[in-house]
């Protein structure tokens, strides 16, 4: 495995794990539930469940990518499948940030988010392309 692919996957995965862990605390930090009618208890439960599922998914995707890239028993196919799924998820997040930007309440936040999401996406996409086409990182 190309050492730079390992570095890119580690950067992208660390960011994914970081976003996932951070997102466990976002509802409380940003007072999400104050925007929901206090009588809509099922909606609060649903938002909480979706956020936990989302946060845990980011953490698990990051961990799985690290285990596959650094694990001695991984095969090329499993790495490609995971990197393709993770790339697609992060590219979707980039496109959503462009089309429906979040963070517009604070100057620069929406662009910082776009930059962070783009960086994570590039880490995964470049790694995927290198593995798919067996390119040496020096040619990119």
- Over residues 11-43, the pLDDT tens digits come to 999 999 999 999 999 999 989 899 999 899 999
Is it the case that residue 98 has pLDDT exceeding 90? yes
pLDDT of res. 137: 63
pLDDT of res. 9: 98
Q: Which residue has the tokens 């539930």?
A: 33
Is it the case that residue 104 has pLDDT exceeding 90? no
pLDDT of res. 30: 86
φ/ψ region of 71 (left if φ > 0, alpha if ψ in -120 to 50, else beta) reads beta
**Half-sphere exposure in the Cβ direction for 28 (13 Å, CA):** 4
| List of E strands, the chain | none
Please state, rounded to an integer, the average pLDDT across all residues of the chain: 94
pTM > 0.85: yes or no: yes
Distance CA 10, CA 59 (A): 13
The mean pLDDT value for 40-64 works out to 96
Is it the case that residue 116 has pLDDT exceeding 70? yes
Are the CB atoms for 117 and 97 separated by under 8 Å? yes
pLDDT bracket for residue 106 (50, 70, 90): confident
């Amino acid at each position: 495995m190309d050492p730079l692919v390992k570095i890119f996957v580690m950067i992208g995965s660390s960011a994914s794990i970081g976003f996932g862990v951070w997102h466990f605390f976002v509802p409380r930090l940003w007072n999400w539930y104050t925007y929901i009618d206090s009588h809509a208890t099922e909606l609060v439960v649903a938002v909480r469940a979706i956020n936990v599922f989302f946060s845990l998914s980011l953490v698990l995707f990051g961990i799985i990518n690290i285990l596959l890239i650094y694990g001695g028993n991984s095969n090329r196919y499993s790495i490609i499948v995971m990197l393709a799924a993770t790339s697609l998820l992060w590219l979707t997040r980039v496109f959503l940030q462009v089309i429906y930007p979040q963070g517009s309440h604070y100057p620069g936040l929406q662009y910082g988010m776009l930059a962070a999401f783009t960086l994570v996406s590039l880490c995964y996409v470049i790694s995927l392309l290198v593995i798919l086409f067996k390119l040496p990182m020096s040619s990119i």
